[in-house]
Structure 1
Amino acid sequence: MDFLMSGLAACGACVFTNPLEVVKTRMQLQGELQAPGTYKRHYRNVFHAFFTIGKVDGLAALQKGLAPALLYQFLMNGIRLGTYGLAEARGYLHTAEGALSPPRSAAAGALAGVMGAYLGSPIYMVKTHLQAQAASEIAVGHQYKHQGMFQALTEIGQKHGLVGLWRGALGGLPRVVVGSSTQLCTFSSTKDLMSQWEIFPPQSWKVALAAAMVSGIAVVLAMTPFDVACTRLYNQPTDAHGKGLMYRGILDALLQTARTEGIFGMYKGIGASYFRLGPHTILSLFFWDQLRSLYHTYAK
């Protein structure tokens, strides 16, 4: 039941934050491996990107990739939050004295994230392809011509087999390790501290909401460089054997980006990432926490 509730919570958040994911993806691909000032900026900031995409591609384009995004969130976060919730419920994250252990919490969050992200990697890759697709006048990055999620998965599988479907999966894991461990560790630690300090009444929904807000800020700062590299790894063109033509792996993507675009290039789309990851983290963790509380209350 923990896995189902976790997946549903993440899907609920995804419906509201997917337009920001579309904006984030395009801003991260804009000016890929080009020095600042040498390319045309189709998207100047988050708000301009929203306006441009809506004007050129149509308002429906702001929800591009929604189907794979929902499926990925259900798979990834169902496994991630569900596994973490089971570890927490069984006391694996606490010391012998009953206090929350940040190292154990971070390790559990990272391990749970890796499991979910690796299994959902083909869905995430297709989501990235679909969200990057745009009219030629505002296109950035490599443009795949998929017609939908199932068509894309079928085409990639037929051309490159299982290896092609899981292309970039290992490179995407550092993003999830950093993001998941930071998110769940800061959420649990902040929630624990607030309960100890009695800032809000016991069992108040405000505790979970405030802890999720703190967690959202931490996740964006820690994960953005890896998120930029991951987006580019998944979206790069491939040869006949399904091998990427631009990057050899996550480290190569990070180094090339830093060398050609500077340190700020590694934080492209951070505004969209914050507006997307912040609310998504807040909503998914809050929904997850409240659903678990309701379930365990009525299960008794």
Structure 2
Amino acid sequence: MGLGIYQHADNYGLLRDDKNNTKFVNSLFFGFVAGMTGGAVGSPLQLVKTQLMSYSSKKIAVGTQHGHPGTVYAFTRLYKENGFFGLWRGAHGMMIRNSTGSASQIAAYAMCKEWMDNNNLFQQSKYLSAFVASNIGAVVKTITLTPMDVIMTRLYNQSVDAHGKGLMYSGIVDCARKITQTEGLMALYKGIGPSYLRQAPHTVLLLLFWDMLKDLQKSMDLK
């Protein structure tokens, strides 16, 4: 969904200047919009996934335990306890997370690849510059995304009162403040290593295939 929105913006001429160079601010903005839209749509699934993955045996349980035996049960229980919009609890965290990640990833990739192509760097094979640029995009995305991943996980997994209000954190800013006060600033970067190992293959494959599909579409349009 995110790349679809970004590509449509490019198709309508909203990302490039008169010389067909990518405008950094425009790329960042539409990447932000694309990520926020995807985050809003996928938030209920992320909520259930986080609560299911956090559940463990009482002997080793850490943090809030929701005790969902399965996905369907989790959705049904959340709906019954907090209503339809209860499925979007913590969605603001997910939306900011996705928008931050997508904006940094796509903008870094687009600007780096364009710079390499314009300066004849990594041109030994057709998609080598795309491969290098996507790796840079993965690094930038991981650095900007990890704090929001930590915050989002805390927001999704906390206990709530009868009105669906979080008992530990009131929102993103409150969560970030409490984490840094009690655990230190670097606590926002917990798991950054595994996060990069997860983001790198995803980013490289996503953006490489995106580049290939754009080339395929161009070749079909010429026929």
User: Matches of residues 101-140 of structure 1 in structure 2 within 5 Å?
Assistant: 101-140=23-62
| Partner amino acid, structure 1, of 2:61 | A
| Partner amino acid, structure 1, of 2:100 | V
Name the residue aligned to 1:197.
119
Name the residue aligned to 1:255.
177
State the alpha-carbon separation in 1 of the partners of residues 54 and 26 from structure 2: 37
State the alpha-carbon separation in 1 of the partners of residues 221 and 62 from structure 2: 50
CA gap 1:161/1:277 in 2 versus in 1, 3 angstroms: same
CA gap 1:242/1:91 in 2 versus in 1, 3 angstroms: same
1:222-256: CA deviations, max 9, x gaps? 12111100111011111222221110000000000
User: Matches of residues 34-183 of structure 1 in structure 2 within 5 Å?
Assistant: 79-183=1-105
1:291 aligns with 2:197: no
State the alpha-carbon separation in 1 of the partners of residues 160 and 194 from structure 2: 27
CA gap 1:292/1:147 in 2 versus in 1, 3 angstroms: farther
Selected match of 1:217 from 124, 129, 139: 139
Higher-RCO chain (CA-CA 8 Å, sequence separation at least 6): 1
Contact 1:172/1:250 (8 A) holds in 2:
no
Moved over 6 A (4+): none
Percent pairwise identity = 39
State the alpha-carbon separation in 2 of the partners of residues 129 and 181 from structure 1: 27
The CA deviation at 1:82 is 0.6
| Partner amino acid, structure 2, of 1:133 | Y
State the alpha-carbon separation in 2 of the partners of residues 237 and 287 from structure 1: 40
How many positions carry a matched residue from both structures? 222
CA gap 1:251/1:200 in 2 versus in 1, 3 angstroms: same
Name the residue aligned to 1:279.
201
State the alpha-carbon separation in 2 of the partners of residues 108 and 198 from structure 1: 27
State the alpha-carbon separation in 2 of the partners of residues 89 and 197 from structure 1: 24
Greater CA deviation, 142-151 or 258-267?
142-151
| Partner amino acid, structure 1, of 2:206 | S
State the alpha-carbon separation in 2 of the partners of residues 201 and 90 from structure 1: 28
Contact 1:195/1:202 (8 A) holds in 2:
no
Structure 2 gaps of 5+ residues are: none
Computed over aligned residues only, the root mean square deviation of the Cα atoms, in angstroms, reads: 1.8
TM-score scaled by length of structure 1:
0.70
Name the residue aligned to 1:185.
107
The CA deviation at 1:220 is 0.9
TM-score scaled by length of structure 2:
0.92
| Partner amino acid, structure 1, of 2:178 | Q
State the alpha-carbon separation in 1 of the partners of residues 98 and 16 from structure 2: 23
CA gap 1:101/1:263 in 2 versus in 1, 3 angstroms: same
State the alpha-carbon separation in 2 of the partners of residues 242 and 184 from structure 1: 35
1:5-37: CA deviations, max 9, x gaps? xxxxxxxxxxxxxxxxxxxxxxxxxxxxxxxxx
